[in-house]
Amino acid sequence: MKKAYVFPGQGSQYPGMAKDLYESNEVARMMLERANEILGFRITDIMFEGTAEELKQTRVTQPAIFLHSVVMARCLQDFTPDMVAGHSLGEFSALVAAGAIDFEDGLKLVSVRAEAMQKACEMNPGSMAAVLALETAKVEEICSACEGTVIPANYNCEGQIVISGEKEAVEKACIRMKEAGAKRALPLPVGGAFHSPLMEPARAELAEGIEKTVFRTPTCPIYQNVTALPSTDPEEIKRNLLAQLTAPVRWTQSVRNMAADGAEEFIELGPGTVLQGLISKILR
C-alpha cells in the first residue's frame, strides 16, 4: 500500500498548536527551541499562548504551521512516504519532510516568504473568497470576464474553489458567482490576495531566498501545486516553488494524480484536518 503524506497551508493554525508535542517529545522541544533562535523571537510563545488574531499575522502563521508540520514528521517513528504534497505553504513542509531541504534552511526560507508576502499585501491590498457548489469551468469563465484582477487561486475540491485578486474585482466576481448558481461566495478573513498577480512584489525576495537555499533530490516524489505533477528534480522544484507565489494551487488535480499513481493511504501532518476533509471529497 502506497502512502502519501500531505501538509496543510495557511488557515490551519489554532491557539495552542504544537504545545503537546513540545511538552511530550524531546526532539520536538529541541527543534522548536532552535526555531526560536533562528527567527529571533519566541514563536513558540505565540503558538502556545497567543490569540487567534496574533496567529493570523502572515509572518507568524507561515512559520508556525511549517514548524508544527515538520516537527510531527520528524517525531514519527515510521515516516516512510512513497510521495508527498503540501497545500500552498505546506509544499515547503513537504520538501523538508522528504529531505529536499534541511529543517533550518526550510524555516529561514519560509520566514523570507512570509515577510515578502506581508510586504506585497501592504503594497497591493487584495482579498480572497471561497466559491461553493459552482462548476470549475463557470468559476474560471466569470473570473476571466470580470474587470480588474481576479483569478481562481485554490482548486481545493470539486465545488470548492477560492478566488483571489483586487478587492473590488473579487466582490464583483462573488455577485456574478451567486447569480450563476453558486451556493455561496464567501469573503475569507485573509491578509491579501495570495496566489494571484498581486503577490508579484514578493517574487524578487523569494527568488533570492530560494537561490541561497541548498536543494537536494527528495527521498520520494513531491506533487507540486503549480503542475499537480510529481517531481524529484531540484531545479524544477525551485522553479515551481517560485511560480507558486502567483499561480493557483491545483490541489484537486494533485490528489487525483497521487491516487492514480498508487496512493491508497493519505496521512495529514500538521495542525488541523482541513486536507483530510478535502481529500475525502476528491476521492469519494
Instruction: Give the DSSP letter string of 223-244.
Output: E-TTT-SEE--HHHHHHHHHHT
Instruction: Please pick, among 12, 111, 195, 231, the residue that the annotation labels catalytic.
Output: 195
* 229 and 132 within one domain: no
* 104 and 74 within one domain: yes
* 34 and 64 within one domain: yes
* 47 and 34 within one domain: yes
Residue 87 annotated as catalytic: no
* 163 and 44 within one domain: no
* 166 and 146 within one domain: yes
Output the pLDDT for position 103: 98
Tell whether 252 is covered by a domain.
Answer: yes
Output the pLDDT for position 222: 98
* 225 and 110 within one domain: yes
Instruction: Please pick, among 88, 127, 196, 231, the residue that the annotation labels catalytic.
Output: 88
The boundaries of the domain holding residue 134 are 127-187
Which three cell numbers mark 192? 491579501
* 242 and 132 within one domain: no
**Domain at 176, CATH number:** 3.30.70.250
Tell whether 83 is covered by a domain.
Answer: yes
Output the pLDDT for position 284: 83
Output the pLDDT for position 190: 81
Output the pLDDT for position 189: 78
* 241 and 104 within one domain: yes
Using 70 as the pLDDT threshold, list the residues of the chain that sit under it.
Answer: none
Domain stops at, among 187, 214, 230: 187
Tell whether 192 is covered by a domain.
Answer: no
**Domain at 240, CATH number:** 3.40.366.10
Output the pLDDT for position 191: 79
Output the pLDDT for position 57: 86
Output the pLDDT for position 198: 98
Which three cell numbers mark 158? 470539486
What CA dihedral angle connects 41, 45, 48 and 52, to 10 degrees?
-80
Residue 195 annotated as catalytic: yes
